Structure formats: structure tokens, C-alpha cells
Structure 1
Amino acid sequence: MFTKLKSTEMFADGKFAQVLLLSGCFMLIFTAFMTTCIIEQTVIDSVKKDDPSFTGDGYTSLAIIYAVFAIVAWISPSIVAILHAKKALFISALFYLLFIVGFLYPRGWLLYLTSATIGASAAILWTAQGNFLSLTSSPQTISRNSGVFWGINQCSLFFGNIFVFWQFYGKTHIDADTRFVVFVVLSVVCFIGSLCFLFLKDLRAEPAAAAESDNESVGKRSNRRNPSGLTTAWNAMKESLKLAITPHMLLLSVTSLYTGLEQCFYSGVYASSIGFTNAFGGDAKRLVGLVGILIGVGEVTGGGLFGLLGPVTTKKGQTPIIALGLFTHITCFVLVYLNLPNGAPLGATDEVSYFTEPYVSVAILCAFLLGFGDACFQTQLISMFASGYKEKSSAAFAIFKFIQSAGSAGAFFASSYMGLYLQLGILVIMCALGSVLFAFVEWQIKKRKGLEDSLKASKEDSDGDAPLAGDSLTVEVDENSKSSL
């Protein structure tokens, strides 16, 4: 049923091995970072009890990360164009390490400073990741590679939170010794992941001059192959701005915005809400780690499944997986609404939800659904941007991450003041709208491709001696396709 790739074909040029290495590096770094994000608000609450002078806030820290991320995303293609993917990945990863090390010395100013630096480096890291994944993939392998990358990367939630679950077991207060052990281990893991980036190949896109006609002068080719750093940066910036206002990118931005909102919810709000719900009793803090584990299981399950289905989605389309994500997340949001009280994100609460007593089983199930649904949206967006914008991958992923991180930043700022039920209502509306617009874009792309294929077939059936009347239309279609996708 599925198109099978032989192992010799998968590793023939070494590119799939590079995808696996890239995925492993991200898994190690985000084992440390995402675990830190999930437990941050809970840990900071314990720090404040030990040190009343500490004024840091976990939601504010995460909001700063994503706000700076959104701003720097506009110049990240320029930075990646100058440094190239491998070097950009390594340097950016080191700032993740600094952020995690900062929890060994909890100070409010240090928390916010490292949050800003990691936001800037994250924009560069993810832009470089999209560029590298595009360079190691073809239209036939991008769905598979996206699924494999996402599945391996999201193992970070699984491994990191098993460690936290074990460390937090039986604790209602996260003491200083426990915090020290947790963040030392997470720092070591992040450091190893950063070093592994050095083993990636220094892949680079083919210069545009290589595709020029043979009658162009050698001098012109040389100049175009070796532009100055400022010229490269400026060209990358212009490319990003031009791409951002194309019709398809504008429509896909709504789906990207939704992924930012739900990323805030699953990486910070949901786990904290469970930890602050006193009705869970002594299990509340321990459940924070368990929720992180189940989110990771959902992410890995989705990424692995969609990696295997890559050849099918290449033929059948991505909309069915987006529809699955829509159904999964709507179901999850309804269950969270029934299981958790409205005031849960804002601090410890004795409120109860529509269930007279919150169910641990429902909380765990919702964590899995959050992760699985997120994998549906993320893998298909990555695949869409990497395949549809292969020649402009840095710019496309920068715009994607800008919209996503801007949504996360706004959601984290609002989470300090907004009740759970209002957050869920916004998520439901954006989930439905983002899914519909993604499906519309894919339908338009298929319609355009069908027209191009029919024109190509008509041209091949002609004598080929005289130009066809449809040739000018072919050029027009091609130019339109380049401007819109």
C-alpha cells in the first residue's frame, strides 16, 4: 500500500543520515529547553517561597522569549545567509545552554536577560533548521523527512519529563537541592546536543548564477557567486518582505498563528493549570511531569505516523491530516473545559470544574491529544513551507516562525490575566479557521499544478516546431506560481 524506500536509496547520498543527525541534535537541546519551559512556572513558584525577594515570572519569561523571537525572525534569514546553516545552528544552541544554566542562579534580571537572548537565538536556530531540512530533502522525501524530524525532536518531551516526574515524585514543594540537580542534568544534555551540530555537513544552496546560460560572462558569474555579506543580508531581508505579502503566505499565516497559540497552551499553560489545581491533591506537582511525558508521546506518535505516511500524503494531500488535527484539538479543548477550573492558569486554586472532581485520566488523555494534534499541524506546515518554498526556504521558515512566535508571545502575556475558559474559546475559533485556510491553499496549489500539467502535456503532443498559442499562458502561470508560492 505504501511506497517503500529501500535503505540503500535512503542513505545513498547521505542526506537522510543528515536529517537523522539534525533531529538527534534538536532532541537533546529541546529535552533540556522544553522540559524547562513546562516546569518553569511551577519551579518559580517554589523559588518565590524560598526567596520572597525573587520577582521573576514564568509566563513573562516565556512571553519575552517569543516576543524577541518574532522580532529577530525578520533578520534571521540574513544571519543564516551569512553564517550558513551549520554554523548558525551551533552558535544559536549555545544560548539555549545559557538560559538553562541561569536557573542554577535564580535572579529576576538574569531570567529576563537570558529569555531575551534565547528568543533571538531561537529565531536563527529554527530558520537554519528549515534551511537545512530543505537542502537535505526533495519533493518526494520532504513529507517523510518532516515527519521523522518532528517525531525524533519531540522525544525531548518524553525523556525530559520522565526525569522531572522522577525528581518531583512525592514533592509538594520543589526545594533548592532538587532544582540544582534538575538544571545541572538539563544543562549537560543541552551542551552535548550543541556539540553534535558540529558533525553536520556544511550544506549550502546552489548559487543562482550556476543556473544561468552559458553565454553569460565569467566575470558576471563570479560576482554573483560571491556577493558581499551586507549584500547577501539585504537580499535575504527583501526576499522575506516580498514573500510575506504573497496571497498563499498570508493565508497560511493564520494556521501558523494558531500553532503559536496552542504551543503556548501545551508548553506552559496546561501543565501549570494542573499543578495549580488543588483538587488533584498531593499528585498535582507530580502530574506536571507526567503531562509533559504524555504530550511528548502524542508528538512522537504523530511525527512517526506522518513520517511513514509521507509517500501517501505526497499523492493524496495534506488536508486529511490537518482535519485530523482539527478533530483531535477540538475534542481536547472540550475535555479540558470540563475537567479544569477557570482560574487554574492564574495560581493555586480550590475551584472545581464542571466535573465535581477533576479526573487524572482525563488530564493525561488531554495531554496526549495536545501533542498528537500539534504534530498534525506542525509536520504539515513544515512540509508545505519546505516543499513549496524550496528556493526561498530561509525566508519562508522565518515568516512561519515570526507569526508562530508572535502568537505565542501574545498568548503568554495574556495568560497572566486571562482565565482558562476564554483561552480555550480563542483556541477553538483559531483552530477551525486555520484548518480551513490551510485546506484552501492546498486546493489552490493542486488546481494550479493541474493546469500546468495539462499545458505541459499539450505542448509535448504538439509538433514542437512552431510555438503553441498556449506557450505564453504557460509562462504566465509559471510567473504567477512563483509570486504566490
Structure 2
Amino acid sequence: MLQLFPLFSVLGISSSFWYSILPTAINFSTHNSQLIYLPAIYSLGIGIGEVFMALLIAQLSRRIKGFSLQPTMTIGAIFSVLALVLVQLSTPWDAPMKPTREEPIGFYHSYPFIFALGLLIGIGDCCLNSCRSVICALAMPDRRAQAFSISKLYQALGSCILFFASPIIPLPVYTIGISIHCLIATVFFFKVARNTVSMERKMTISEEEENK
């Protein structure tokens, strides 16, 4: 469970950023003053991305063994980092802290872009949450409820810390920090997933030998 701490904490930190801090930054940018439906389009994109990826994971997990482990984690990390790169390119650096007229380093927000960004965020978030649920059940099969409760505790802790620090954190700290955090979480998740698969294989062999 300690090795999964980076995954649990990045869920809390990224959730706070995606669902609260980034929408605030979008509204704080004066370049978006005429785009009054950006929050609605953003939320719609996230919702569609979440539902689409949940259905896809459910279907592929039935056909591909272990798809809900390393493959899903890889997809979640890639889409999350890609979304963070796009946020960095399109959002003023000080927008999370205060209303700003600063220029983004790449391009401005638009309805199609925000919808596409929401899709990426929804897909990545769904993957990471699915991996959390699966690995908690596999790592501690006899104490699944306790494992999931511990994960929610770490998630809430990360979210709470970020909210208290958000008034003084510029955008690059979020995008770079969460990206690095996500990569670290992926490395530790792969390690725990391999150990879990090895443990299951040993238990299966032992049961077969006992039956013989």
C-alpha cells in the first residue's frame, strides 16, 4: 500500500486541478470573457471521456487478460500528461491565482479545444481511477474495503493540501509537478502489479499441487 501512495495521492492532486483549479484558471483569463459556455463544454467533454473509457475498459478487460492493470495505467498516464501539456500551452501562467491579461505561450482557448481537452482529461482520469480500484482488490484480496479506504484517505490528503496551497501556485508548478508525479505513480504501479501477478501465479500452482 505504501508503494501505491504515489497513485493515490496523484488522484487527489489531479482531481483538484482538473475539477476546480483549471476551471477557475479558464474563467480568470480575460481572453475567455466572451466564451461564456466554456465551463459547460469542459464538463461535457470530461463526462463523455469518462463514460467512453469506462465502457472501453469493461469490454477490453473481458477479451485481454490484465488489460485493467499496466495497459490501462499506461493509457491514463499518457492522456493525463498530454492534457497537462495542452493546458500549459493554452493557459496564462498566473491564471490559477488571479484574473489576468497575460498571453498563453501557445494558443487561446476555444470551444472545440476545451471539449477535446475535456475528453483527454476524462479518459485519463477514468483510467487512473480504474487502476486504483483493481490494484486495491488484487494487492489485499482479503481486505479490499480497508485497502480502498486507505486509498481514499491518501487521495483526500493530496487534494486538501493542494487546495490550501493553490492561491500561491503558478500554472507551471501544476503541469510539471503533476506530470512527474504521474510518471512516478506509473513506475510504482507497474512494480506492484508485477508482484501481484507473481503472487497469484504461485497461489494457483500451490492450489493445483494440493488438488493433485
Using the size of structure 1 for normalisation, the TM-score is: 0.42
Alignment partner, residue 4 of structure 2:
252
Matches within 5 A, 1:112-127: none
* 2:20 aligned partner, one-letter code: G
CA distance in 2, matches of 1:359, 1:307: 32
Over 3 Å counting, the alpha-carbon distance change for 1:259 and 1:315 in structure 2 is: closer
1:301 to 49, 52, 55: 52
**Does residue 1:279 correspond to 2:38, yes or no?**
no
Matches within 5 A, 1:343-358: 343-355=94-106, 357-358=108-109
| Residues 102-150 of structure 1: per-residue CA shift (max 9 Å, x gap) | xxxxxxxxxxxxxxxxxxxxxxxxxxxxxxxxxxxxxxxxxxxxxxxxx
Alpha-carbon deviation of 1:368?
1.4
- Computed over aligned residues only, the root mean square deviation of the Cα atoms, in angstroms, reads 1.8
The total of aligned residue pairs comes to 212
CA distance in 1, matches of 2:66, 2:163: 38
Over 3 Å counting, the alpha-carbon distance change for 1:316 and 1:327 in structure 2 is: closer
**Does residue 1:368 correspond to 2:119, yes or no?**
yes
Over 3 Å counting, the alpha-carbon distance change for 1:338 and 1:315 in structure 2 is: closer
Alpha-carbon deviation of 1:316?
4.8
CA distance in 2, matches of 1:398, 1:278: 41
CA distance in 1, matches of 2:142, 2:199: 19
Over 3 Å counting, the alpha-carbon distance change for 1:410 and 1:319 in structure 2 is: same
Over 3 Å counting, the alpha-carbon distance change for 1:289 and 1:358 in structure 2 is: closer
**Does residue 1:415 correspond to 2:166, yes or no?**
yes
Alignment partner, residue 20 of structure 2:
268
Alignment partner, residue 167 of structure 1:
none
**Does residue 1:453 correspond to 2:204, yes or no?**
yes
Q: Where do 5+ consecutive residues of structure 1 fail to align? A: 1-248, 462-485
Alpha-carbon deviation of 1:385?
1.9
Higher relative CO (Cα under 8 Å, sequence separation at least 6) belongs to 2
Over 3 Å counting, the alpha-carbon distance change for 1:450 and 1:386 in structure 2 is: closer
* 1:432 aligned partner, one-letter code: L
Matches within 5 A, 1:5-16: none
CA distance in 1, matches of 2:13, 2:27: 20
Q: For the Cα contact (< 8 Å) 1:385–1:396, is it kept in 2?
A: yes
Alignment partner, residue 157 of structure 1:
none
Aligned to 2:102, the other structure's residue is in SS state: coil
* 1:344 aligned partner, one-letter code: A
Over 3 Å counting, the alpha-carbon distance change for 1:253 and 1:275 in structure 2 is: same
Alignment partner, residue 428 of structure 1:
179
CA distance in 2, matches of 1:398, 1:362: 36
Alpha-carbon deviation of 1:269?
1.0
Matches within 5 A, 1:54-453: 249-283=1-35, 285-312=36-63, 314-316=65-67, 318-355=69-106, 357-453=108-204
CA distance in 2, matches of 1:316, 1:329: 18
Q: For the Cα contact (< 8 Å) 2:68–2:130, is it kept in 1?
A: no
Q: For the Cα contact (< 8 Å) 2:138–2:196, is it kept in 1?
A: no
Using the size of structure 2 for normalisation, the TM-score is: 0.91
Alpha-carbon deviation of 1:383?
2.2
CA distance in 1, matches of 2:136, 2:89: 36
Q: Where do 5+ consecutive residues of structure 2 fail to align? A: none
Structure with greater Cα Rg: 1
